[in-house]
Structure 1
């Protein structure tokens, strides 16, 4: 029994209000004020795009990484608080994130 069910049992006549000020997208990803940093590096001679600065929940972070990899048809990983995408896809990634409502910032050349 989760918290919502317990609250319904304690207060059966209460109807929860929808809060229009929540900062979530239609898929439930946390929207943040600070921009997501999009960097380009070469690791072991191969280009990678690194996304850094997401402050939401870890589950949302994993969902965002999976969606990006799927839309770009490339591999990648999550290490700590960064998403590493194989290849130089800064422009496409920034466009996808801006379409979702995120603020982005290009770092480096």
Structure 2
């Protein structure tokens, strides 16, 4: 026995089939495949008149993917984490740091 469930599930009363006659015709499309460095294939459908981008993010791993499976784009390397001292060393040499340290110590000692 159906136990009180109706025969039509997931539809409103009075709704009919929704086909192309109600929505209109679909735009002409083209499918483009993109491959990432891990060998994943991502297929994207574009309108025929749309410009196809040179790269697309892989749905599986997030690496950049290109349309040529033999020439996949290389992921941009991210800069390593750098501490505050690392940034200071990038801007100043060791000699400059020694001079600044000696000036700061002289101020603290009251000799300047």
TM-score, normalization by structure 1: 0.24
Bigger Rg over Cα? 2
In proportion to residue count, which structure has more helix?
1
In proportion to residue count, which structure has more strand?
1
Query: Which structure's relative contact order is higher, taking Cα pairs within 8 Å and 6+ residues apart?
Result: 1
